[in-house]
């Protein structure tokens, strides 16, 4: 049997949703719209969003007070959410629903006193966001 992969394959629903949130915020509020971490690992898409006025940052501290910020599909830690709220940032949470489900499971297991082992790439935004829920 031959297996043929479509090329290009497109993005998962979570990434499509995150891109739509960034584009919608740009249409609604104009630029700049700050996005914490690239919304997708795709230079073409990121460059297109930059051209429309999205400003990609790695840390929340790079976002001016009271600005609009979007959390990428990778999700963020609770600490990042609290820092954004404290600074009066308008937040659009584009976290993938499947990532949110993982976050909720980590919280549940932590509350039940279970140890959680996370397998992933150290420093990757999705891993950092998930580990930031384990308290």
61 included as an active-site residue: no
Q: Where are the beta strands (DSSP E) in the chain?
A: 33-36, 54-57, 68-71, 90-93
> Which among 27, 59, 61, 126 is annotated as catalytic?
126
∠86-41-16 over CA atoms, to 5°?
Answer: 80
Nearest to 11 by CA among 114, 96, 134: 96
3-class secondary structure, 12: coil
**Catalytic residue annotation:** 126
């Amino acid at each position: 049997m031959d297996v043929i992969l479509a090329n290009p394959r497109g993005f998962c629903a979570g990434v499509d949703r995150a891109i739509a949130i960034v584009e919608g915020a740009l249409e609604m509020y104009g630029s700049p719209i700050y996005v914490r971490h690239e919304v997708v690992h795709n230079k073409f898409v990121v460059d297109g969003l930059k051209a429309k006025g999205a400003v990609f940052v790695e840390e929340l501290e790079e976002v001016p007070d009271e600005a609009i910020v979007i959390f990428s599909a990778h999700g963020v830690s609770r600490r990042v959410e609290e820092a954004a709220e404290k600074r009066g940032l308008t937040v659009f949470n584009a976290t993938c629903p499947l990532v949110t489900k993982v976050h909720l499971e980590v919280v549940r297991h932590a509350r039940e006193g279970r140890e959680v082992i996370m397998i992933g790439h150290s420093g990757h935004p999705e891993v950092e966001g998930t580990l930031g829920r384990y308290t």
